[in-house]
């Protein structure tokens, strides 16, 4: 038996098998995996040879970068061109002019991790401007060290384990929901999907589950259809009503928090004259006032868990619901107890809250980057459009670098960035864009030098996930398509042109690196109290399960037991409900305590105006596998499908399966309609990940495939974190009359097959 793995699951196969088979002990295999193999073998989507953009060869300086043909070249020519550009830009402008833009997610395997391979070469060759944080949860990454004294990663490692929640929790209040759909996925791979069974256990034991969000999704229990972007107001109102009734846990607030008096004065209206009571929140959130009062009366004294999804903070002022959620959990005093308290990210990945041992498995060794310049990850368009301009970030005033070379490896910003029309304009600014990619994504189509990379099914690797109880040897499933090479081989050849091959490879081929990393893993296992087999045995067997893997954790347990002996790494050593450090920054969009700040777009909407929800898709990971069988089968008329309330559709004269046009001041897109009553009537839910396909239609730029980021707003959620605000977006909807334009993403760009 052989094995392989992806971010959406692990699989086994024998030689000659037609399909991959999920591991037999995975209770709920991912839907995404059903389209993986077909996407890898789709020759219409795959990049089959190195290619160079014709306009770049002609010296157009990026003018035609968003709509051009390509010339195929040899690998020798392609790697020589890439090395030459790297050297030219570094010698002419300095290393800060090079942006290493990979965003990860391309491979589960720990060696063939595209971002690590790229950064290794760029660091060895002189350094590069990098990025900080993630599109997934940038607001939390910057905020949590201030208010929790932990990084987001450390908090997710330690938050209440699912088995303890299932055993102890009496009421789970879930802002943004706990989704089985997003729980298909885990970075670095997963051998099991257990979130669904955990929720079923909670429901069966009689736990009261309340899902608060504009669409019901797969939620069990009660559903509160809140107006998008207003969760902070609801959280503050719950705090107000509990305090007004004298039911707050004053002992916990005094022992374990700082700044409570400042927050209480704001919530009660002492500081601004506006009590943040249930009536106030009901109007903002479009929820019944009695429901808010009833929940506030129900929560005190219960073993409660306040859970927030990652998507909640991908919005204008995204820090505020996270901070207000912590405030509510502190008022209830359940933090530090088994299975209760405060949580962030359940269901956003399958492994968040997993009750397994955390094993610090090795990854590809890093080379220090000599360049200290960086940008917040979601500010790439700003950096390209405004070099030399200043911006605020995390208490600093920083300056955008002047980026001349962008190198993207294993990622697709024309999927995950906002306002893609604006990004297209920004993308014309660098002198050169180099992309390592396996498929003709929108980013690859907008590159100057395209280096075809293998998929994980075309190479051997190791699946190590510190939150997963299984380690797999990922065996090659099929031969590389066309002339595709793995990223290590690509960068090794470029390093050769730079006289850096020995430093880059350390004298190892792929097999040598896998053996080296396995040796490191054996040391990790020994320190953890168990033994791994030798490399050849592991490769032959393909799978190793960590013994005695079950382990449960309780966030802040030691701190709550003795705050003086185990202080947190915050400014006061306690959970901060008012943070003096943030307050001194004097940020209008992120004050010193949780605050209701209306989003830049939102509120009550009219007949043809809707809040846009752009969550993760069910049939693919981000934009990966969009041209695989499962994602293609989920489309209607070849387009992405938007969920639409029947009453809203009736107002617009739209029927199930028909095509609509969504518009904002930033752009417009087409999508098909699926009717469902499981969402607010003033909302449209259009998943991300349809490959970006803008076309000129009747003289207007129109994205025709259904990519919501043609519509979304490219603005930082605050001057603290500068995270993205994808979920703050209001669109106009109208029925599309006539035949929709043919898609262009289903065929590769025009290619001249001759040597440059």
Q: Which amino acids are annotated catalytic?
A: 103, 105
Q: Among all chains, which residue has been given the structure tokens 């009366």?
A: 297
- Bridge partners for 551 per DSSP: none
Contact 84, 476 (CB under 8 A): no
Q: Among all chains, which residue has been given the structure tokens 């304009």?
A: 425
Contact 55, 71 (CB under 8 A): no
Other CB atoms closer than 10 Å to residue 705's CB: what's the count?
26
Contact 73, 754 (CB under 8 A): no
Contact 55, 68 (CB under 8 A): yes
Alpha helices in 623-732 (DSSP H): 629-634, 646-652
- Bridge partners for 130 per DSSP: 374
Element (H, E) at 51: strand 51-53
The token pair at 548 is 């005695």
Q: Which of 332, 351, 350 is nearest to 341 (CA)?
A: 332
- Bridge partners for 643 per DSSP: 674, 685
In angstroms, the CA 463 to CA 483 distance is 25
Burial class for 368, CB neighbours closer than 10 Å (0-12, 13-18, 19+): exposed
In angstroms, the CA 329 to CA 327 distance is 5
Beta strand extents in 56-116 (DSSP E only): 70-72, 98-100
Three-state SS at 193: coil
The pairing of strands 171-175 and 208-212 is: parallel
Q: Which of 614, 463, 621, 610 is nearest to 539 (CA)?
A: 463
**386-392 contacts at long range (C-beta below 8 A, 24 or more positions apart):** 391/719, 391/722, 392/587, 392/719, 392/722
In angstroms, the CA 477 to CA 41 distance is 11
The token pair at 520 is 């490191």
């Amino acid at each position: 038996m052989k094995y392989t793995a992806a971010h959406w699951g692990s699989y086994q196969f024998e030689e000659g098998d037609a399909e991959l088979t999920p591991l037999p002990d995975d209770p709920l295999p991912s839907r995404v995996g059903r389209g993986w193999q077909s996407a890898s073998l789709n020759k219409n989507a795959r990049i089959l040879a190195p290619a160079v953009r014709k306009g770049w060869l002609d010296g157009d300086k990026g003018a035609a970068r968003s709509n051009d043909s390509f010339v195929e070249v040899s690998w020798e020519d392609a790697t020589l061109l890439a090395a030459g550009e790297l050297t030219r830009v570094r010698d002419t402008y300095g290393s800060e002019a090079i942006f290493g833009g990979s965003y990860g997610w391309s491979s589960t395997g720990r060696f063939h991790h595209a971002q690590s391979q790229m950064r290794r070469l760029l660091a060895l060759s002189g350094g590069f401007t990098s990025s900080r944080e993630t599109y997934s949860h940038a607001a939390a990454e910057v905020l949590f060290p201030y208010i929790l004294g932990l990084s987001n990663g450390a908090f997710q490692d330690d938050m209440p384990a699912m088995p303890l929640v299932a055993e102890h929790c009496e009421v789970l209040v879930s802002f943004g929901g706990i989704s089985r759909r997003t729980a298909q996925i885990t970075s670095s791979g997963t051998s099991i999907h257990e979130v669904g069974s955990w929720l079923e256990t909670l429901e069966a034991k009689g736990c009261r589950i309340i899902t608060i969000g504009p669409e019901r999704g797969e939620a069990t229990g009660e559903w509160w259809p809140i107006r998008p972007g207003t969760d902070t107001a609801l959280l503050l109102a719950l705090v107000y009503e509990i305090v007004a009734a004298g039911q707050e846990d004053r002992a916990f607030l005094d022992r374990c928090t700082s700044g409570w008096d400042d927050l209480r004065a704001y919530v009660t209206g002492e500081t601004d004259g506006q009590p943040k009571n249930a009536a106030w929140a009901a109007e903002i959130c479009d929820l019944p006032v009695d429901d808010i009062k009833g929940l506030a009366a129900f929560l005190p004294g219960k073993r409660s868990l306040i859970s927030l999804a990652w998507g909640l903070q991908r919005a204008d002022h995204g820090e505020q619901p996270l901070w207000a959620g912590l405030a509510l959990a502190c008022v209830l005093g359940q933090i530090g107890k088994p299975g209760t308290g405060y949580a962030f990210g359940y269901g956003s990945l399958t492994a968040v809250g997993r009750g397994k041992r955390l094993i610090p498995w090795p990854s590809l060794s890093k080379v220090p980057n000599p360049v200290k310049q960086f940008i917040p990850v979601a500010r790439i368009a700003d950096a390209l459009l405004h070099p030399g301009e200043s911006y605020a970030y995390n208490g600093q005033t920083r300056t955008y670098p002047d980026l001349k070379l962008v190198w993207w490896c294993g990622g697709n910003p024309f999927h995950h960035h906002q306002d893609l029309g604006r990004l297209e304009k920004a993308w014309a600014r660098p002198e050169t864009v180099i992309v390592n990619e396996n498929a003709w994504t929108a980013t690859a189509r907008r590159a100057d030098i395209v280096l075809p990379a293998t998929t994980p099914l075309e190479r051997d690797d190791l699946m190590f996930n510190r939150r997963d109880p299984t380690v797999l040897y990922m065996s090659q499933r099929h031969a590389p398509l066309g002339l595709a090479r793995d990223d290590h081989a690509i960068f090794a050849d470029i390093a050769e042109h730079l006289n850096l091959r020995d430093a880059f490879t350390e004298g190892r081929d792929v097999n040598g690196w896998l053996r080296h990393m396995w040796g490191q893993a054996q040391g990790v296992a020994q320190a953890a109290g168990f033994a791994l087999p030798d490399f050849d045995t592991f490769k032959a067997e393909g799978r190793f399960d960590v013994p005695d893997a079950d382990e449960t954790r309780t966030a802040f347990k030691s701190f709550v037991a003795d705050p003086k002996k185990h202080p947190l790494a915050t400014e006061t050593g306690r959970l901060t409900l008012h943070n003096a450090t943030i307050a001194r920054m004097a940020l209008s969009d992120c004050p010193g305590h949780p605050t209701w700040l209306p989003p830049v777009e939102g509120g009550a909407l009219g007949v043809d105006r809707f809040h846009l929800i752009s969550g993760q898709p069910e049939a693919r990971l981000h934009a990966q596998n969009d041209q695989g069988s499962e994602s293609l089968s989920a489309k209607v008329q070849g387009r992405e499908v938007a969920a639409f309330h029947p009453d809203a559709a009736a107002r617009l004269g739209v029927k199930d399966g028909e095509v609509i046009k969504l518009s904002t001041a930033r752009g417009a897109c087409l999508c098909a309609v699926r009717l469902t009553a499981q969402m607010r009537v003033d909302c449209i839910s259009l998943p991300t990940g349809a490959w970006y396909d803008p076309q000129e239609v009747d003289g207007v730029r129109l994205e025709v495939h259904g990519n919501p980021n043609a519509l979304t707003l490219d603005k930082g959620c605050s001057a603290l974190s500068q995270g993205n605000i994808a979920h703050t977006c209001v669109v106009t909807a109208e029925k599309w009359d006539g035949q929709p334009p043919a898609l262009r993403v289903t065929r590769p760009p025009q290619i001249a097959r001759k040597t440059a």
